[in-house]
Amino acid sequence: MNMDLLLVGLNHKTASLEIREKLYYTLDETEKVLPEIVQLFLKEGVLLSTCNRTELYGVLKGDEIKPEQLIDFLILKKGAGGVVNQSHFYILRSYDAVRHLLEVASGIDSMLVGDVQILGQVKDAYEVAVKCGVVGTLLHEVFHTAFRTGKRAKSETSISEGAVSVSYAAVELAEKIFADLSKKKGMLIGAGETAELTAKHLISHGVSELYIANRTIERAQKLAEQFNGKVIRLEEITSKLVEVDVVISSVTVSGYILTLSQVKSAMSRRGNKPILIIDIGVPRNVEPAVKDIENVFLEDIDSLESIAKANYERRLNEIPKVQRIIDEELKNFIKWYEAHQVAPTIKLLRERFEQIRQLELEKYRNKFSPEDFQKVDALTKSLVNKLLHNPTVSIRESSNGKPESERIKFIQFVRELFGLEQK
């Protein structure tokens, strides 16, 4: 039994970043454009837009409306006609569209497998649609199935575990070496993108203070404002080694910015307390022999990349487990959908009345002769059929011309009214 659900979208597999950027809708833009899309083309709809995808889920108002009209409208609204075209889009229907959303919510359709942010973005998209009043019973169930699937993928598998970027791998190491980062201080030497990102992650994981040293003092000050850090001169680096616990170095220099003797001397002055030095400079900023000093943990870009790569491969191995969760949740969704269709409800209603009729009849079997019992049997059967005639006609008519979401809502009401919900 197919559903009227439709999905039109593009993502990192079908469109370059340049294309995706052109079709990116912020939540505020979504709030403005979604009611318009629904009014023109859909009975209900949700628009999900992130840096990696823009996808519109909906139920078409009628057969005369074509998916291509939705695509054209999305392009038109962003004035992206010169760059984006229909060949960048995919069109999925019915349960294929549901499965796709479950894969998105669980992080296995992401550019970075196991992306932890996507589930929150799916929830935000749904909440904006609810706020616009354009979510009906069908999309409500579809999206709640997606939330459940995403949550299960995160808690029942390791799809989101382990750092898969260099900057995150550095922070993960810091957390292993120092159980509590909130009492630790950091130092950022240079201001490259990866170093900046690593510093950002360190701050968000609780590092209490951050010193920033950079050749260009304006750049250091800009970062200091961003991270609530303190600017120091390059000459102060070695003296600061005594008090900081995590050093991130990313400068372009011909010689080493930290030498074996400098780090040795700092270690003796800091009472041999552990220090993590992350060298992401190319060429290397820290003399490699530094790693032989006791309680000095030196990591370079290669070792961080190999940690990230190993974690990523481990995530890829989790995909079959996530697919099994998706299969289960999709099966449950199909069960829910089919149960809320017209024919099964009429059948259940008739079975329920027949069950009551027979139970009541059995109580009086001994009070009648076999011939009379047959007459009462025929009479009650006819009575039940007459009583059920109008409700049956009414339920059947509910499936004609009504929006799918309204139909499902009505069927739900009937099932609750007559106690037909399957336990």
Could you list the active site residues?
51
Nearest-10 crossing angle of helices 137-156, 94-105: 40
Contact 138, 44 (CB under 8 A): yes
Q: Are 281 and 311 in contact (CB under 8 A)?
A: no
380 among annotated binding-site residues = no
Q: Is 53 annotated as a binding residue?
A: yes
190 labelled ligand-binding: yes
Extended beta strands in 290-335, E state: 296-300
Burial of 160 (0-12, 13-18, 19+ CB in 10 A): buried
Nearest to 262 by CA among 237, 280, 279: 237
The answer to the question of whether 51 is labelled as a binding residue is yes
110 belongs to an annotated ligand binding site = yes
299 annotated ligand binder:
no
| Sheet order of strands, 53-60 included | 42-49, 53-60, 5-11, 90-93
> Is 186 marked as a binding-site residue?
no
195 is in an annotated binding site: yes
93 is annotated as contributing to ligand binding = no
Residue 263, judged by CB atoms within 10 A of its CB (0-12, 13-18, 19+), counts as buried
The contacts of residue 9 (CB under 8 Å, 6+ apart) are 48, 53, 54, 55, 56, 89, 90
Question: Cα(first)–Cα(last) distance of the chain, in Å?
Answer: 22
> Annotated binding residue at 327?
no
**Tokens representing residue 99 in the block:** 């499965």
Residues making up the chain, counted from first to last: 423
317 is in an annotated binding site: no
| Residue 50, annotated as binding a ligand | yes
Q: Is 398 annotated as a binding residue?
A: no
Phi, psi (degrees; rounded to nearest 5) at 376: -65, -40
What is the SS3 assignment for 217?
helix
Q: Which amino acid is at 215?
A: R
Decide: 285 and 257 in contact? Cβ < 8 Å. yes
Binding residues: 50-53, 110, 115-117, 121, 190-195
Binding site for NADP(+): which residues? 190-195
Q: Return binding residues for substrate.
A: 50-53, 110, 115-117, 121
